[in-house]
Structure 1
Amino acid sequence: MSETEVKSAEDMVAEADTGARQAGPFATKLVFALCIAWSLFQLYIASKLPGVVAQATGVGIFANIVAQARYVHLAFALVLATLAFPIFGHRNRIPIYDWILVILGASACLYLVVFRFEIADRPGLWTTTDIVMSGIGMATLMIAVFRSLGLPLVIIGSLFLALAFFGGYSEWIGSITNYGGASFSKAMGHYWMQTEGVFGVALGVSTTMIFLFVLFGALLEKAGGGNWFIKVAIALLGALRGGPAKASVLSSMMTGMISGSSIANTVTTGTFTIPLMKRIGFSPEKAGAVEVASSTNGQLTPPVMGAAAFLMVEYVNIPYIEVVKHAFLPAVISYIALLYIVHLESLKMGLQGLKKPGRHIGVVMILFLMISGFLGMAAITFIVIAIRAMLEPMMPGATVYPALVMLGAAYIGLLYVASRFPDIEVDDPNAKAVTAPRLTPTFLGGAYFALPIFVLVWNLMVRTEHLDRLSPALSAFWATIAMIIVALTHHPIKAAFRGESEVANQMKAGFREFVAGLEGGARNMIGIGVATGAAGIIVGTISLTGAHQIIGQVIEVISGGNLIILLLLVAVLSLILGMGLPTTANYIVVSSLMAPVIVTVGAQSGLIVPLIAVHMFVFYFGILADDTPPVGLAAYAAAAISRGDPIKTGLVGFSYDIRTALLPFMFIFNTDLLLINVGPAKAVLVFFVSLIAMLVFAAVTQGYFIAKSRRWESAVLMVVVFMLFRPDFFLDQWQDKYTEVTGPAALTAVEELPTGGSARLTISAPDFDTGIVGSTTVVLSPEAEGSGIERLSAAGLGVTETNGILALEEPFPGTPYFEKLANDYDFYGDEPAQIVSVAIENERMAKEVFFIPALVILLLIVLLQRRRATQPPF
């Protein structure tokens, strides 16, 4: 790959993510200084320093700045977006109007900090100055969005603003939402002067969590961690059949965990892996497509997922560790399936891997090494937990200090080991002789990069009797501090261990990497910062107007109340929006509008869809949009490196990602995949069965299993996939899942329900806005004993039985049923709300029995195809 192609790909990253303006030394230094200041500010507010400084100096602004941080956060984002992203083609200079926009944008945000006490004394009573500053802020935000993210989000935001201003003039909208319109003053105050609009949940999460994770990833990348990931992947898998492509998948998964951008991930790993894939026989389009499919899925991989995953914490109101748990199986299954797709492509083309010095590592040994590594990390974790538990009685609440000593000792030890090997350099993939590096020196030469990741995972996940998990923000903060120490010290310490005389120069090299990480983290956050601010306009409009009811009614009419059709529409909507929006903004828009609709339609169909499943559905399709033609920017970045056709690259990449597109539909109907109410033993079974199903599905999409598949074999294999993913479908055809009872018998069924058991209540009530009688389904899990009416009342549902009708009163405030029912249904109209039926789950055979015939059929296909196989499987 020539320098021109690399430059083209890097320019694409700059234009899409970090800013492509080169306006001379002064502007460059100013942007650089602002990036450093932004990163240091974020580290400052994430630490305990504001409170310490405020206590020491008596100046309250130091502590209060944490509460005002989102205003400063957006000010940095607006200023940097204006300076770093050109508009109207001014790439080589900053025109006067941009300087004016810099001043206006910063002033509109900082106005809320400087006059915060005055604003707090008059909530809702906005002055003329308030409204003027709000209007300026909204205008500069939309311009910044246009610069850094393009026109689509501006159009969507403008449509929602138009709804806020002019929606009251529509009788149809008014009849659905009871919204009468908003004045300019009311709307601007709602969007800018309080935390219901621009400065809402999304920007708050960007300020407190997303920035720190992005900064952590940037520091790790600049210090050499990203290159270490790539080299380890090549060393581990490069010599296998189609090895560079498999290494691309593994390295993209690892770098994707620390990169918030599919495009940046594509360029980071693709610069090295795409030329290697072409060298062993992949076409330019397939080489780019493998990298695109690998890189886009990186944001799905725990423990550090894409920025939207942190928003889930707030929107679904669950801890981040729960998001990680739900995302774990689908991500692992998806990546293993992509490795399998790459393997099948290599088999079809008869490809080999890279040459490798030393002993050849086979597939079994690779699996053994990976499992051993995982078990080794688990063993280290349990040892540290045991040591801290042993020390807790002697030094209560202070065992973190010996843990830090152990961490420091491990770091020094790993640096000593790394110093025995040459530094890991970035190889030239276009060199005449390219070989896969040896695993041992490659892995040990950079194993210390794993320590900050270990710190991150420890703080996010480990919880014992004496230890509490840290919040995602604090976890990222301490991991970033660990990464800063690594970036500053790993070069000079290795030089000292080697007895080299240039320790001072190595210290300067470490400092340069640290500063480059601070700059890179801030630059990577510009687009996310303005995107979360602009997404706040959409969320604010929904809270102001009830827009989700409008969208919900339109989608429900189009789908006809059919959940499958609704899910297909949401998937298509996510893909279309994702062509022009970053994943974070796409997720906010679609989840805000459609998540309640999916849950409602599912309940009306008798399917209880967990909210996390809906949000994961939207999240997956938002990420898949990055390689969806004709606008998938990741595909264009890969094509710039491979010299292939970007449209074909995107189409092939999306064909590889069909396996990922299948998963969201599966975990809507089979929540076992998300490990919802699944124990450890069942989780292992779910993993292996789902993995087999996904590998078989991948084989169907490739038309190749053990040998080239015939059409009837592919059809049979699809039946096997369905049986493995949805065994309950076949069981439902044979045995009824529920027994439904009505009237007084329903109350008797509730009374006899064991404590901790559950029943499904079908409720009929008139719609709050239209008066049309509809039905929905809710789950009842009574804890109190007593009669049926008493148990329903204890759960928050007041019921009166008259002539066999179970009339339902409005649910008690503070109960889950109040939020689910009171906002949508009228409990005081002429038509009474009532419990139509109670469904009790029947005792029946385990649905897993249907795995047996599915696996038998699969074995028969294997035996049939083995006769036609023309080459060994590995």
Structure 2
Amino acid sequence: MMDHSKNPQAPDPSSVGLGTEGNAEQSATRWKRTVYVLGALLSLFQLYTAFFGAYVSIIQGAIHLGLASALIFLVYPISPAHRDTTWRRIVDLVLAAAAAGACFYIQFNYDRLVDDAILFGYSGMDVVVASTGIVLVLEATRRSVGAPIVIIAVVALMYSLFGNYSPVFTHSGMSWSRLATESFFTTSSVFGTPIQVSATFIYLFLFFGVVLIETNVGKFFTDIAFLAVGRFTGGPAKAAVIASGLQGMVSGSSVSNTVASGSFTIPMMKQAGFRPEFAGATEASASTGGQLAPPVMGAAAFIMAAMTGVPYNEIIVLAAGPAILYFLGVFISVHFEAKRMGITGLRKEDLPRRSIILRKLYLFAPLLVIVLVLLSGRTPTFAALLAIGATIGVSFVSAEDRLDWRSLLGLLQAGARAALPVIAACATAGIIAGTVTITGLGGKLASTVIEIAAGQFSLTLIMTMLACLVLGMGLPTTANYVVTATVAAPILAAHFGTPVIAAHMFVFYFGVLADITPPVCLAAYAGAGIAGANPMRTGVIAFKLAIGALIVPYAFMLNPALLLQDAHIGYYLFSITMLLFSITAASSAMGGFLLVRSTVPERCALFAASLVLISPQPAPIGVGLAILALVVIKQAYRRFAAGGSRG
């Protein structure tokens, strides 16, 4: 979890120019208390409404966004290099008050804004407040998330205003007063589906992740992984894959997961003999997969449930098989690299002690609670509340994990800080998605894509994939999913008869994969930083290790049975097995090793086999299995001829 007291973007009390040292310290203390109180209020509001029931959606979203945006202006400076001064703090306080005021204006004027405005229109003050709210949402997002998503949102707003001058996708255009009020006082833009889901489900699961980290459950997952596979070939890297998968199941964030578990696993991998770039890439690709793994699957999965109408409880079941295959793909890639490099496992004395692990098995309780409650059909809100309670409860079993009252209170602020970038991204993503809906851009893009692809399903899939990866360079996973699910997913579902959940899962997968796709691969950059490696090389290797994330989405688009769509258990298991063969062949082709080092023709043959094995038709599957078998036989003979060496 990010420690903002050490974050260069956070206020530095020691640099405040307030005249005397005593005044500076008092000002810093007051500032910290303000941040603490606002963070605690946000967390308490979310816990209260989760327990007693949420308000009307736009009021729930307004309070949620109002408190969060005020916190962002107090925590994130105008720029990382901006010096902390009295005037800067005054400006940030004014902006924080204005951002909160614009949002709370909705609550205090709800009846008039919802009912009277339909008949009499909005007042001049309404337009001013809405305009202020939009500008401050964009600035809060720029500070906490970055400029790319804000630039896209500004372009979207300009398109809404001046679409009548656009050379392509022309529309009639809008006045600013109409655009501002529709964007800020309705549920079609800022307070659309993303912020509504953030204000109910997402925040609680982010808070749950903070509680897990504070109670050392993440370290427990890492210890289990090292005990399970640390002694085998390439053990540290394999343990990193398992540990990151376990932690990612509940954290749902690729970058933070990379930093949290990578601080321990990456040095262990380097010590075992893996190259720094490979160590950082392994952690990044495994941590990124955490967003694909139930039960949390990152913030976007909750939005997916709202947009598709498929209950979240069902989404986590149908997503389990593909997610497991993704991690198996990374695991297999690591195994081939370890074999190629001749890297063995850890010594017995370097492994965690089994007795300690067995004594702490109770730390699995929160994860079991959340899975069982979700599978029982209860709401994600109820599951998150129970899991938070279970985590705090088990922390009292052991003195080293126990949270004292100060730590418990600190969780309220830590949970709020962890959620700030996600909340800001959801609000701005709502602006982008709202533009697509309000202007009719979605329908125009759909017809254009179909025309360019000439109605070809495979070409449409490739274009959609590229759009997701390109958008992922500037958008967080959640915002990327919102935009592509609004524009691209309906094309796949409406024009090609693809199941809605498969279309949404397709864009979700490639939105996640953007975190390890060069040139902008944030998770890989985080792993490279810990490993002391070249960021771009680390990104390229991470992309190769995550080859399963490229194959799996195409596989379930061609064969929806992989997502449990109209499939009996026998055919589902058969399809999963064929997909595992495909991923194995692709991982081997990328790594250049199967039983021995692969020649270039063998790598080409393995890659060809991986492509045809994703087909649901018997003939291509037979061809793929035959190619794979021939390569295995050829390499087995070469290995036997070399006396069983690795070649």
Instruction: Give the corresponding residue for 1:163.
Output: 159
Distance 1:65 1:730, change over 3 A: closer
**Which of the residues 359, 363, 368 maps onto 1:454?**
368
2:44 maps to a residue whose letter is: L
**Inter-CA distance 727–193: structure 2 relative to 1 (3 Å threshold):** closer
Q: Is 1:486 equivalent to 2:375 in the alignment?
A: no
Question: Does structure 1 residue 137 correspond to structure 2 residue 133?
Answer: yes
Query: In 2, are the aligned partners of 1:706 and 1:869 still within 8 Å (CA)?
Result: no
User: Partners in 2 of 1:122 and 1:646 — Cα distance?
Assistant: 55
Measure the CA separation in 2 of the matches of 1:295 and 1:547: 35
- The residue that corresponds to 1:218 in the other structure is 210
CA distance in 2, matches of 1:865, 1:90: 62
CA contact 2:608–2:624 (8 Å) conserved in 1: no
1:75 aligns with 2:71: no
Match of 2:37 among 20, 29, 33: 33
Q: Equivalent residues in 2 for 1:505-584 (5 A)?
A: 509-584=403-478
Contact 2:153 2:428 in 1 (8 A): yes
**Does 2:97 align with 1:103?**
yes
CA distance in 1, matches of 2:115, 2:611: 61
User: Residue 107 of structure 2 aligns with which residue?
Assistant: 113
**2:361 corresponds to which letter in structure 1?**
A
SS in 1 for 2:251: coil
8 A Cα contact 1:219 1:518, kept in partner:
no
Please tell me whether residue 122 in structure 1 is matched to residue 29 in structure 2.
no
Unaligned runs of 5+ in 1: 1-6, 51-62, 358-434, 463-468, 495-505, 732-847
**CA distance in structure 2 between the aligned counterparts of 1:455 and 1:277, rounded to whole angstroms:** 32
Q: Based on CA coordinates, which of the two structures has the bigger radius of gyration? A: 1
Which amino acid in structure 1 is aligned with residue 12 of structure 2? Q
Alignment of 1:325-344 (within 5 A): 325-344=317-336
* 570 and 870 in structure 1: CA distance in 2 versus 1, 3 angstrom threshold: farther
1:590-629 equivalences under 5 Å are: 590-601=484-495, 603=496, 608-629=497-518
Task: Summarize deviations over 1:782-832 as a string: whole Å, max 9, x none.
Answer: xxxxxxxxxxxxxxxxxxxxxxxxxxxxxxxxxxxxxxxxxxxxxxxxxxx
Paired position in structure 2 for 1:702: 591
Cα offset, 1:14, TM superposition: 5.2
Distance 1:350 1:546, change over 3 A: same
Give the structure 2 partner of residue 196 of structure 1: 188
**Cα displacement (A) at 1:453:** 1.4
- 1:20–1:91 Cα contact (<8 Å) kept: no
Percent of pairs with identical residues = 35
Provide the C-alpha distance between the structure 1 equivalents of 2:69 and 2:549, rounded to a whole number of angstroms: 35
How far 1:523 moved relative to its partner?
A: 1.2
Distance in structure 2 (CA, Å) of the matches to 1:12 and 1:237 = 36
**Aligned counterparts, 1:640-659, within 5 A:** 640-659=529-548
**Over aligned residue pairs, what C-alpha RMSD do you find?**
2.6
Take 1:654 and 1:713, find their aligned partners in 2: how far apart are those partners? 21
CA displacement 1:516-568 (0-9 Å, x = unmatched): 43333211110110111111112221221101123334434443433323222
Secondary structure of the structure 1 residue equivalent to 2:252: coil
Alignment of 1:304 onto 2:198: no
Q: d(CA) in 1 for partners of 2:525 and 2:146?
A: 16
Instruction: Report which stretch shifted further, 860-869 or 341-350.
Output: 860-869
Aligned residues: 627
Q: Which amino acid in structure 2 is aligned with residue 611 of structure 1?
A: V
8 Å contact kept, 2:465–2:510: yes
Q: 1:220–1:449: 8 Å Cα contact kept in structure 2?
A: no
Give the partner amino acid of 1:184. W
- Residue 211 of structure 1 contacts residue 525 of structure 1 at CA under 8 Å; is this kept in 2? yes
Paired with 2:592 and 2:446, the residues of 1 have a C-alpha distance of 39
Using a 3 Å threshold, how does the CA distance of structure 1 residues 668 and 307 change in structure 2: closer, same or farther?
A: same
State the TM-score, normalizing by the size of structure 1.
0.68
Structure 1: distance between partners of 2:644 and 2:126: 73
Residues 210 and 479 of structure 1, relative CA distance in 2, 3 Å threshold: same
Does 2:539 align with 1:632? no
Partner-residue secondary structure (3-state), 1:166: helix
Runs of 4+ in 1 over 6 A off after TM superposition: 9-13, 848-852
**Matches of residues 675-824 of structure 1 in structure 2 within 5 Å?**
675-728=564-617, 730=619
Do residues 444 (structure 1) and 333 (structure 2) align? Answer: no
Summarize deviations over 1:174-200 as a string: whole Å, max 9, x none: 4xxxx4222222211210111111111
Say which SS state the counterpart of residue 520 (structure 1) adopts: helix
C-alpha deviations, 1:569-605, integer Å up to 9, x for none?
Answer: 222222222122110011111221111223345x3xx
CA distance in 2, matches of 1:667, 1:100: 50
Which of 85, 105, 113 is residue 76 of structure 2 equivalent to? 85
Task: Measure how far apart 1:865 and its partner are.
Answer: 4.6
Letter in 2 for 1:615: H
Code of the aligned partner of 1:81: I
Match of 1:737 in 2: none
- Flag the 1:32–1:479 CA change in 2: closer, same or farther, 3 A: same
Verify: 1:860 aligned to 2:633, yes or no: yes
Aligned residue among 257, 273, 287 for 1:295: 287
Match in the other structure for 1:233: 225
The 1:547/1:578 distance shift into structure 2, 3 A limit, reads: same
| 1:595-633 CA-partner distances (Å, limit 9, x unpaired) | 1223345x3xxxx21221121111111111112223222
Distance 1:112 1:85, change over 3 A: same
| Cα separation, partners in 2 of 1:285 and 1:870, compared to 1, 3 Å | farther
> 1:340, 1:698 within 8 Å by CA — same for their partners in 2?
yes
Deviations 1:717-768 (A, max 9, x none): 334324432141737xxxxxxxxxxxxxxxxxxxxxxxxxxxxxxxxxxxxx
Q: CA deviation at 1:204?
A: 0.5
CA 1:247–1:870: 2 relative to 1, 3 Å: farther
**CA apart distance, 1:261:** 2.0
The DSSP-based 3-state class of the residue aligned with 1:173 is: coil
Tell me the distance in 2 between the aligned counterparts of 1:12 and 1:294: 28
Partner of 1:375: none
Q: Which residue of 1 aligns with 2:23?
A: none
**1:856–1:262 Cα change, 3 Å:** closer
CA drift of 1:481 comes to: 2.2
Question: Deviation at 1:238?
Answer: 1.3
Would you say the 8 A contact 2:207–2:415 is kept in 1? yes
- Is the CA contact (8 Å cut-off) linking 2:277 and 2:531 kept in structure 1? yes
Superposed CA offset, 1:57-94 (max 9, x none): xxxxxx75777211111012211111111113336454
Taking the TM superposition and a 5 Å limit, the aligned residue runs for 1:40-79 are 40-48=44-52, 64=55, 68-79=59-70
Which residue number corresponds to residue 383 of structure 1?
A: none
Q: Which moved more, 1:116-125 or 1:198-207?
A: 116-125
Greater strand percent: which structure?
1
Q: Which moved more, 1:626-635 or 1:238-247?
A: 626-635
Is the deviation greater in 622-631 or in 72-81? Answer: 622-631
Measured in 2, the distance between the counterparts of 1:563 and 1:83 equals 48
TM-score by length of structure 2 reads: 0.91
**2:343 aligned partner:** 351
**Once the 2 structures are TM-superposed, how far is the Cα of residue 861 of structure 1 from its aligned partner?**
4.3
- Determine the C-alpha separation between the residues in 1 that align with 2:29 and 2:616: 64
Distance 2:146 2:205 in 1: 24
Determine if contact 1:223/1:514 at 8 Å carries over to the other structure: no
Q: Equivalents in 2 of 1:243, 1:117: separation in Å? A: 62
- The residue number in structure 2 matching 1:402 is none
Residue of structure 2 equivalent to 1:60: none
> Is the contact between residue 337 and residue 698 of structure 1 (CA under 8 Å) also seen in structure 2?
yes
The structural deviation recorded for 1:862 is 5.5
